[in-house]
Amino acid sequence: MAGFSSGEQTVIAAAISEIARNILMYAKQGEVFLSLATNGDRQGVVVVAKDQGPGIADLERAMQYGYSTSHGVGAGLPGAKRLMDEFEVDTVVGQGTTITMKKWRRVI
Ligand SMILES: Nc1ncnc2c1ncn2[C@@H]1O[C@H](COP(=O)(O)OP(=O)(O)O)[C@@H](O)[C@H]1O
Ligand SMILES: [Mg+2]
């Protein structure tokens, strides 16, 4: 996939899985868009996960390990951030959440 090693693909899949799981759990429905991108000598995968659920009231806490409003493990968001190279959350309470995350690899 896009020149990523199978190990890197596993890492990307794990991050997508956590974010998709959150959509089902907190927003009930949403969408995950995948695309490829190029930036100089880097190629990458861009994941955009979008929902129109409740939004995240305290994003700073939600990005910390162990914080969960559902008695979960609280590792999904911080874990996905650690697994990817770029991680951006755009959330508005009552309107929804969009997470954009990217993973790059150098093209020789
Ligand atoms: N798509 C989402 N919509 C609303 N709230 C979310 C969403 N994703 C995460 N959250 C909030 O962020 C918290 C932390 O998420 P996460 O790190 O995945 O832990 P967990 O899912 O185990 O609670 C969740 O408990 C929830 O309150
Ligand atoms: Mg989660």
Q: What's the confidence (pLDDT) of residue 18?
A: 98
Q: Could you tell me the pTM of the whole model?
A: 0.96
3-class DSSP state for residue 24?
helix
Q: What's the confidence (pLDDT) of residue 93?
A: 98
Neighbours of 41 (CB within 10 A): 9
Determine the CATH number of domain 6-106.
3.30.565.10
CA separation for the pair 60, 43 (Å, rounded): 30
Distance (Å) from CA 41 to ligand 1 centroid: 34
**pLDDT-based confidence at 28, cuts 50/70/90?**
very high
Lowest mean pLDDT among 39-43, 79-83, 99-103, 104-108: 104-108
Q: Are 77 and 62 in contact (CB under 8 A)?
A: yes
Q: Is the pLDDT of residue 23 over 90?
A: yes
Q: What's the confidence (pLDDT) of residue 2?
A: 78
* pLDDT (tens digit per residue) in 74-95: 999 999 999 999 999 999 999 9
Q: What is the mean pLDDT of residues 22-47?
A: 97
Q: What's the confidence (pLDDT) of residue 73?
A: 97
What value does the mean pLDDT of the chain take?
97
Tokens 């009231």: give the residue: 57
Tokens 């994003």: give the residue: 59
Distance (Å) from CA 62 to ligand 1 centroid: 6
* Residues flanking ligand 1, CB < 6 Å: 18, 22-23, 26-27, 51, 53-56, 62, 67-70, 72-77, 97
Q: What's the confidence (pLDDT) of residue 1?
A: 72
**Whole-number CA gyration radius for the chain:** 14
3-state helix, strand, coil in the chain (%, to 5): 30, 35, 35
Q: Are 30 and 91 in contact (CB under 8 A)?
A: no
